[in-house]
């Protein structure tokens, strides 16, 4: 077992308060019943998002991989690598439902292999993280699977060659591994890892979606 149990009252736990809201990729509404845990640290109690998608738990400071998976909600298990300090940490997580995932794979002309993983890279225009960088090219090292794949007008497109207004790029059916890196390029822009909160490399796990971001400035 690589994640903890959901406990209503785990007693006093030392660490960093970690909270946020889980939202659906398509509707952007809160998703209830998502289990939120620290990946591969089963001694740390998990929590469930409430009816509005809000969640709160306590985590140890350091490099962590948060996992958002099926508690009472049918979503694709998602891994989010983060660097958590001693101060309260807020992270709002976008999750993809099982039906939406199947639709997206189909529109991209792919079939989901449960023995492989997937990666999403979202490039945003600093300082407003709600603004994706349009017209950028995303790469992953080492190269694996199908991708980069982009959307057009918010819909997965097998022919799109650069990021849409959402800044999203996807890599599907990626070989599991521990040290992948992603880069984003667009003329006149500098896109980097937001190093105060995310590590430079990230894992890919079979049956999971790993989500990372890149901060872009002119």
Hey, which residues does 170 pair with through a beta bridge? 120, 149
- The residue-averaged pLDDT of 211-216 equals 96
Percent of the chain with pLDDT over 70: 94
Which tens digit of pLDDT belongs to each residue from 118-153?
999 999 998 877 789 999 999 999 999 999 999 999
Domain boundary among 80, 95, 110: 95
Whole-angstrom Cα distance, residue 176 to residue 180? 9
Residue 9 pLDDT exceeds 60:
no
Burial of 131 (C-beta count, 10 Å sphere; 0-12/13-18/19+): middle
Whole-angstrom Cα distance, residue 149 to residue 131? 19
pLDDT of residue 1: 41
**Number of domains making up the chain:** 2
- The residue-averaged pLDDT of 83-97 equals 94
Burial of 136 (C-beta count, 10 Å sphere; 0-12/13-18/19+): buried
CB 121 within 8 A of CB 214: yes
Q: What three-state secondary structure class fits 98?
A: helix
Lowest mean pLDDT among 9-18, 22-31, 49-58, 91-100: 9-18
Q: Does residue 62 sit in the same domain as residue 144?
A: no
Q: Does residue 148 sit in the same domain as residue 63?
A: no
pLDDT of residue 3: 57
Residue 13 pLDDT exceeds 80:
no
pLDDT of residue 2: 55
CB 210 within 8 A of CB 119: yes
- The residue-averaged pLDDT of 158-184 equals 97
- The residue-averaged pLDDT of 161-183 equals 97
Q: How many helices (H) and strands (E) does the chain have?
A: 1, 17
| 192, containing H or E segment | strand 190-192
Domain that holds residue 196: 98-217
- Average pLDDT along the chain: 92
93-95 and 155-157 as β-strands: parallel, antiparallel, unpaired? Answer: unpaired
Q: Does residue 70 sit in the same domain as residue 163?
A: no
Neighbours of 126 (CB within 10 A): 16
Give the CA dihedral 45, 48, 50, 51, nearest 10 degrees: -170
Structure tokens at 80: 């989010």
Percent of the chain with pLDDT over 90: 83
pLDDT of residue 73: 76
pLDDT band at 192 (very low <50, low <70, confident <90, very high): very high
Single pTM value for the model: 0.91
Q: Find, among 62, 67, 60, the residue nearest to 3 by Cα.
A: 67
pLDDT of residue 86: 93
pLDDT of residue 105: 97
Q: Does residue 203 sit in the same domain as residue 149?
A: yes
Q: Does residue 20 sit in the same domain as residue 89?
A: yes
Give the CATH number, domain containing residue 158. 2.60.40.10
Query: Does the residue 8 lie in any domain?
Result: no
Structure tokens at 138: 């995303």
List of residues 6+ apart from 68 with CB closer than 8 A: 22, 34, 35, 36, 75, 77, 78, 80, 93, 95
Structure tokens at 75: 């979503």
Q: Does residue 111 sit in the same domain as residue 213?
A: yes
């Amino acid at each position: 077992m690589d994640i903890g149990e959901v406990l209503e009252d785990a007693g006093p736990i030392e660490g960093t308060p970690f909270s946020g809201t889980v939202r659906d990729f398509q509707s952007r509404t809160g998703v209830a019943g998502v289990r939120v845990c620290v990946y591969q640290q089963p001694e740390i109690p998990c929590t469930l998002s409430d009816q509005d998608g809000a969640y709160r738990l306590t985590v140890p400071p350091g490099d962590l991989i948060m996992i958002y998976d099926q508690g009472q909600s049918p979503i694709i298990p998602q891994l989010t690598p983060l660097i958590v300090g001693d101060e309260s940490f807020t992270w709002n997580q976008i999750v993809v439902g099982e039906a939406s995932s199947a639709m997206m794979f189909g529109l991209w002309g792919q079939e989901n292999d449960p023995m492989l993983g997937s990666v999403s890279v979202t490039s945003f225009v600093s300082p407003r993280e709600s603004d994706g960088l349009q017209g950028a090219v995303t790469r992953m090292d080492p190269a694996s699977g199908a991708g980069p794949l982009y959307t057009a007008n918010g819909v997965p497109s097998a022919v799109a060659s650069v990021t849409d207004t959402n800044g999203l790029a996807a890599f599907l059916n990626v070989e599991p591994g521990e040290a992948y890196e992603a880069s984003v390029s667009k003329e006149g822009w500098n896109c980097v890892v937001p190093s105060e909160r995310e590590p430079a490399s990230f894992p890919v796990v079979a049956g999971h979606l790993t989500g990372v971001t890149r901060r872009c400035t002119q």
